[in-house]
A and B are shown apart, each in its own frame.
Chain A
Amino acid sequence: QVQLVQSGAEVKKPGASVKVSCKASGYTFIDYYLHWVRQAPGQGLEWMGRINPNSGDINYAQSFRGRVTMTRDTSISTAYMELSRLTSDDTAVYYCAKKFCSKAVCHDTFDFWGQGTMVTVSS
């Protein structure tokens, strides 16, 4: 069964960086884009970007460009999202999510999500 297992909660100081991992299993890692989405406490979902695990191609949301780096390690089926220059506004649950494909057609939606990683930024 498909699983996305993320790394544990983090507490960071303002100005620091955080790196969240997302280990995939139950499917061929390189065949499906992985996206990163965050959700601040009591707030809505915010798309951060996507990575093609096969080619390494990346698209970042405009609001995160210059601060976010998405990478992957195909040897261990794991994707990473690193966010730098953290502020209190970055306090949120960060999710990785797998792109949904059906009958060889892929769609701009997500069928499996990680359990979420809580990142708290506090001095």
Chain B
Amino acid sequence: SALTQPASVSGSPGQSITISCTGTSSDVGGYNHVSWYQQHPGKAPKFVIYDVNNRPSGVSDRFSASKSGNTASLTISGLQAEDEADYYCSSYTSSNALLFGGGTKVTVL
């Protein structure tokens, strides 16, 4: 089954928010292969974090991430209107597969 994410998170412009992604020792906890994706409505996802806490070129440094045990987290600091989107985590698994989280809708108030 999917990794567990909160259905929604909201924050005011300028604030920081954190999205959690909980799995098991067979996925999130067992490997440093957690990624985060941002998806705006009607668009394909875009990766913003790979390998737990690495930001690809071109992604704002307002995006940061970490992992503790079986839970990974994505933090967006200095929240902006353009950050309003759905966010998904994914992890490599012990079955040599990839598993996504259920997704979190981020609302900028």
The judgment on whether A and B are partners is yes
A-B contact count (CB 8 A): 61
- A12-69, CB < 8 A from B: 35, 37, 44-47, 50, 59, 61-62
Judge if B97 is at the interface, Cβ distance under 8 Å. Answer: yes
Judge if B83 is at the interface, Cβ distance under 8 Å. Answer: no
Interface of A (DSSP majority class): strand
Closest B-chain residue to A111, C-beta based? B47
Chain B residues, Cβ within 8 Å of A108: 33, 35, 50, 90-92, 98
Determine whether the beta carbon of A111 is less than 8 Å from that of B56.
yes
Q: Compute how far the CA of A114 lies from the CA of B47 in the bound complex, rounded to whole angstroms.
A: 14
Give the interface size class of chain A: 20 to 34
Chain B interfacial positions (CB closer than 8 Å to A):
2, 33, 35, 37, 39, 44-47, 50-51, 56, 88, 90-92, 95-103
Q: Which 6 A-B pairs have the closest CB atoms?
A: A113-B44, A109-B35, A109-B50, A44-B103, A47-B98, A45-B100
